[in-house]
């Protein structure tokens, strides 16, 4: 009998750890980058033709990441065991069928359940959810066997702290650059290197030629198509994937210059990607995926940095996804004299979670990046160690979470 009780308790605690860690980790890595999760929600809204709901994407993202993080931590701490397991159950009852639909239809290649920190396939996401759902069902029926780490005397204060931390941590990473960067444009990243993949490891594709003869269509490969037989009529050519290979971390990075013609009309010029990435001097990239939505509060600081770059022989480009017409109207209004370039909106949002933001590169390597509210003075532009600053910021964030919990636990034991 005692062995059965011990086994039952072990299974419950194991389920508690699996489910709790999954929820807490998923919530935390998305709370690190709420805007990234917001863009993922918008991808789904585009697929469902619900773009009118875009304005709700950020509030929904914040609510979900805080809820996931809170429920995961609550379960690990044994706080409000009955309610926690049931709320987690509601999450899983909704998301498990949803991820099955995503796996079957593949509307978005990466579901975003672990943000950019851990990218898994849609089918792997579904299988993960099946395991978590099974553990959650067990916990719903066995919630009394979950060992609470805090007594009723401090449970309310502990719960309030966890929720408050989740909210403030998420908001901090929404209005500042994320304290952890999992994207291919993080500080130290080599952009050109991540645009390349070994041809031997890339996708294997074949070209199919479709010809017609006597009203019958037939498919041929590159080695046997009847290019010199006039009795066959060419119909179409298709490229088919034979074997999926590795994908480059960066696939859609392209910079097109914008110029103003004699009539004052702004036009798209040539591709200057290689020119920008091969520049051996420092290059400043002001990133604004939308000039219309740009926060112009610190625009004068960007103009100051553009002048600094010009005075010191460095390149300065303003990268935007706004149309050339919008660029023209915006420049007439602000008269910055900047060199504007066109870049895909998704790429710009991936490069930096700010509108506008500033990235410093040299020979395609990311030296530094800043949000508009954290721009350094021109004296510190080239020597500020932002990477170490972010590591210190992360350490402080972890201390601010674990130390109060430890204090609450010590206080709890003394009561």
Domain check: are 230 and 323 in the same one?
Answer: no
83 and 118 housed in the same domain: yes
DSSP states of 35-73 as a string? HHHHHHHHHHHHHTT-GGGGGGHHHHHHHHHHHHHHHHH
Helix (H, G, I), strand (E, B) or coil at 242: strand
Q: What are the pLDDT digits (tens) for 29-69? A: 999 999 999 999 998 888 888 889 999 999 999 999 999 99
Pair 31, 56 in one domain: yes
Per-residue pLDDT reduced to its tens digit, 297-346: 999 999 999 999 999 999 999 999 999 999 999 999 999 999 999 999 99
Structural element, H or E, at residue 271: strand 266-271
**Where does a domain end: 189, 217, 243?**
243
pLDDT band at residue 415 under the 50/70/90 scheme:
low
Spatial separation of the C-alpha atoms in residues 371 and 359, rounded to whole Å: 9
Sign of CA dihedral 166, 172, 173, 174: positive
Task: Give dist(CA 174, CA 78) in Å, integer.
Answer: 29
Last residue of a domain, one of 243, 267, 300: 243
User: What is the domain extent for residue 214?
Assistant: 199-243
The total number of structural domains that make up the chain: 3
Which pTM value belongs to this model? 0.84
For residue 190, being part of any structural domain is answered with: no
Question: Does one domain contain both 166 and 31?
Answer: yes
Residues 62 and 169 in one domain: yes
Q: How confident is the model at residue 247 (pLDDT cuts 50, 70, 90)?
A: confident
The distance of Cα 56 from the centroid of its chain, to the nearest Å, equals 18
pLDDT at 414: 62
Q: Is the pLDDT of residue 387 over 70?
A: no
How confident is the model over 200-216, as pLDDT tens digits?
Answer: 777 778 889 999 988 88
Statement: residue 368 has pLDDT above 80: yes
Cα 193 from Cα 318, distance rounded (Å): 23
The dihedrals phi and psi of 146, each to the nearest 5 degrees, come to -75, 125
Q: Are residues 160 and 205 both part of a single domain?
A: no
Q: Is the pLDDT score of 244 beyond 90?
A: no
Same domain? 288 vs 410: no
Beta partners for residue 219, in sequence order: 210
Least confident range from 265-269, 376-380, 387-391: namely 387-391
Residue 107: pLDDT band (50, 70, 90) is confident
Report whether pLDDT(2) > 60. Answer: no
| pLDDT for the residue 329 | 92
Inside any domain, residue 194: no
The answer to whether the beta carbons of residues 319 and 255 sit under 8 Å apart is yes
Residues 170 and 228 in one domain: no
Tokens read off for 242: 């034979």
- Residue 5 reports pLDDT greater than 90: no
């Amino acid at each position: 009998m005692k062995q059965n009780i011990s086994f039952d308790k072990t299974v419950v605690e194991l389920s508690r750890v699996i489910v709790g860690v999954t929820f807490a980790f998923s919530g935390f890595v998305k709370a690190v980058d709420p805007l990234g999760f917001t863009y993922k929600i918008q991808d789904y809204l585009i697929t469902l033709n619900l773009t009118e709901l875009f304005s709700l994407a950020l509030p929904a993202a914040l609510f979900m990441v805080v809820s996931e993080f809170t429920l995961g931590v609550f379960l690990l701490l044994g706080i409000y065991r009955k309610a926690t397991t049931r709320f987690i159950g509601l999450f899983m009852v909704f998301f498990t069928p949803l991820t099955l639909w995503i796996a079957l239809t593949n509307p978005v290649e990466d579901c975003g359940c672990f943000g950019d920190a851990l990218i898994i396939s849609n089918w792997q996401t579904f299988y993960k959810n099946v395991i978590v759902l099974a553990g959650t069902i067990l916990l719903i029926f066995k919630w009394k066997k979950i060992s609470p780490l805090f007594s009723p005397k401090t449970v309310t204060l502990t719960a309030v702290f966890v929720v408050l931390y989740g909210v403030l941590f998420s908001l901090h990473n929404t209005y500042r650059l994320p304290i952890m960067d999992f994207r291919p444009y993080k500080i130290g990243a080599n952009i050109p290197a991540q645009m390349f993949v070994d041809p031997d490891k890339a996708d294997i594709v074949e070209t199919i030629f479709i010809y017609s003869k006597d009203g019958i269509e037939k498919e041929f490969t590159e080695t046997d198509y009847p290019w010199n037989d006039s009795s066959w009529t060419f119909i179409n050519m298709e490229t088919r994937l034979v074997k999926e290979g590795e994908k480059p971390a960066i696939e859609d990075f392209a910079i097109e210059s914008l110029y103003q013609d004699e009539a004052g009309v702004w036009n798209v010029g040539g591709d200057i990607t290689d020119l920008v990435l091969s520049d051996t001097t420092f290059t400043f990239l002001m990133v604004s995926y939308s000039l219309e939505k740009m926060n112009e509060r610190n625009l004068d600081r960007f103009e100051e940095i553009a002048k600094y770059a010009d005075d010191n022989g460095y390149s300065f480009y303003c990268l935007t996804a706004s149309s050339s017409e919008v660029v023209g109207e915006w420049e007439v209004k602000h008269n910055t004299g900047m060199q504007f370039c066109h870049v895909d909106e998704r790429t710009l949002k991936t490069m930096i979670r700010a509108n506008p933001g500033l990235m410093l590169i040299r020979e395609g390597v990311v030296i530094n990046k800043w949000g508009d509210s954290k721009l350094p003075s021109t004296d510190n532009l080239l020597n500020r160690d932002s990477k170490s600053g972010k590591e210190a910021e992360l350490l402080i964030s972890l201390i601010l979470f674990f130390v109060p919990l430890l204090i609450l636990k010590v206080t709890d034991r003394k009561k």
